[in-house]
Structure 1
Amino acid sequence: MTPLADIDQITNPPRRVQRLRPVVDSVLDGLEPVINLYRPYVDGLENLPRDGRFLLVGNHTQGSGEVVLIPYFVRREIGTRVRPLAVSTIRYTPGLLGDALAAYGAVVGHPDTARELMRNNETILVFPGGGREMSKFKGEEHTLLWNGRAGFARVSVESDYPIVPVALVGGDDVYKSVFTRDSVVGRFSTSVMKRVTGKPDMGLPVTRGIGPTMVPRPQRMYLRFGPPIDTTKPPRRNHDSWVSDVKARTQEALEQSLAELLDIRRNDPYRQLNPFAWRNATLPDAG
């Protein structure tokens, strides 16, 4: 399979990208007041391996807050830069925006790029659900839409790379989908996106924010980093069977974290971050 990115540029980016890194880092550091304003609930940071050698496997949401929150809290906790495996279209992102994404750490989501990052013991982030999981229809909130994808498990097993499952609740409530996937509107949207993208599982749901508008609904984010999953294959264990087992264990851990975070949120009186209650919006009890 032909790689979708210049492998050498993953660990040795152009000088212009290297010059942008301090700027991007400063911007990320400057996000702290904004993130604190939303009082995110975060637990499990003690589960992050201190050497930074692990693959974060997360769930995508409609609000996409996980793309910022996960790298932010990992960097703050252990000081490593997270390398998100992004959609292949970033390969064609021109100019300053493309350089900024590279300085942020994003690379094309492809097995070859993941292997290269693992050879260099980097901290990697992947969302197996991809774009389909970001475009959820009504009733699909807080679920994993992986469609059987197990590439992350296969590459991790090949490299004996630990997996840290990371779950986010709240992002699917920033915007609400109006129709289900099997509705007339949902089927039409999926059909159109199939013709446009060539992918049969993509759709473009009709969403709304506050009321009928696209103003995002204020929601507290609930983030959990689970215990690392060892991917080292036991002796005499069939390779494909072990890959399936690692994928299943990761999915089960994420689904369990999502369920537990939903329970925590259910008992949180400040989950919707009413502006008049911000000053008193204490963090919920994990117990």
Structure 2
Amino acid sequence: MATGATDSGTAGMSVMQQLVPLMSLFVKTYFRAEVRGEQHIPDDGVLIVSNHSGGTFSVDMPMVATAFADRFGAPRNVHTIAHDVMFLGPFGPVMRAFGLVPGSREGAVEILRSGESLLVFPGGDRDAMRPTRDGAKIDFYGRQGYIRTALEAGVKILPVVTIGGQETQLYLNDGTGLARFLRFDKMFRTKSAPLTLGFPFGLTPSLPPNLPLPSKLVTEILEPIDIEAEFGRDPDIEQVDEMVRKRMQHALDGLARERRFPVLG
């Protein structure tokens, strides 16, 4: 079972668990966050697979943590695979205290086998930095390692989609060419440096980051996927990946149809 609140109050809780109430208040007020499908969250550990939105100020992780807290009535320990740059220098111990872990399959499998839940963003930084016009598009850029991780750990996949993150500022392009030119790929191991338009820096190549606009965020949690039950003991990885993305795209398309105005929702 995933770690939750203990009888001794916050003494046995991680930093992330202790901050969930504050994060929940923030996303529900500033972003008017709405989460649907909490009933689909299983009681045991699961690999949460989500699209990634919002660039430098992505709030996907707080949205998922809030959903788990609402589902179980108390903060649950949800780890998140994070970009390697987050662990450079003195930031490493701090990031780990917040439940972030480097992107290794061995570490991910160990977490999942312990009964805890793990959040992954297969699309990575390119997904988080995608143009605003593609805000309702699922693209993992060919990354399928999450499926092998779920199979090795023996857990289900829990697909999650969020809309509104790419409206927290205006992302004008994907920024892959600019990232190479500015050597962001070498300095920060990121392949995207999109031109963004926002406040207070106006037009900027993602760094320095503009403050996020209060775009309404809607997250939908889909039914868990038991890979072995649906595809057998030796599944075709590409077929599973296509199915996961197709179900997520269908859900995201539905959220996009409901959205009437940018930012306002």
TM-score (normalizing by structure 2): 0.79
Number of residue equivalences: 245
Aligned amino acid, residue 28 of structure 1: V
* Distance in 1, Cα, partners of 2:161 & 2:199: 24
State the match for 2:81 in structure 1: 85
State the match for 2:158 in structure 1: 164
Larger radius of gyration: 1
Deviation at 1:22, TM superposition (A): 5.1
State the match for 1:35 in structure 2: 27
Aligned amino acid, residue 50 of structure 2: G
Deviation at 1:30, TM superposition (A): 2.3
Out of 137-146 and 148-157, give the one that drifted further: 137-146
Matched, 1:104 2:98: yes
Could you list the structure 1 runs, at least 4 aligned residues long, displaced by more than 6 angstroms after superposition: 198-201
Say if 1:83 and 1:105, in contact at 8 Å, map to a contact too.
yes
* Distance in 1, Cα, partners of 2:200 & 2:102: 36
* Distance in 1, Cα, partners of 2:15 & 2:200: 37
Choose from 167, 171, 174 the match for 1:177. 171
State the match for 2:124 in structure 1: 130
The superposition leaves residues 167-216 of structure 1 with CA deviations (integer Å, 9 ceiling, x where unpaired) of: 010111001123x34xxxx5640432567439998220110125973343
Say if 1:161 and 1:232, in contact at 8 Å, map to a contact too.
no
Partner SS state of residue 31, structure 1: helix
Matched, 1:70 2:59: no
CA 1:67–1:200 in 2, change beyond 3 Å: closer, same or farther? closer
Say if 1:193 and 1:199, in contact at 8 Å, map to a contact too.
no
State the match for 1:218 in structure 2: 214
CA 1:173–1:119 in 2, change beyond 3 Å: closer, same or farther? same
TM-score (normalizing by structure 1): 0.74
Aligned amino acid, residue 46 of structure 1: Q
Aligned amino acid, residue 234 of structure 2: H
RMSD: 3.1
The answer for unaligned runs of 5 or more in structure 2 is: 4-9, 203-209
Say if 1:194 and 1:201, in contact at 8 Å, map to a contact too.
no
Deviation at 1:163, TM superposition (A): 0.5
The answer for unaligned runs of 5 or more in structure 1 is: 1-10, 12-17, 274-283
Say if 1:20 and 1:103, in contact at 8 Å, map to a contact too.
no
State the match for 1:7 in structure 2: none
Matched, 1:259 2:248: no
Say if 2:20 and 2:69, in contact at 8 Å, map to a contact too.
no
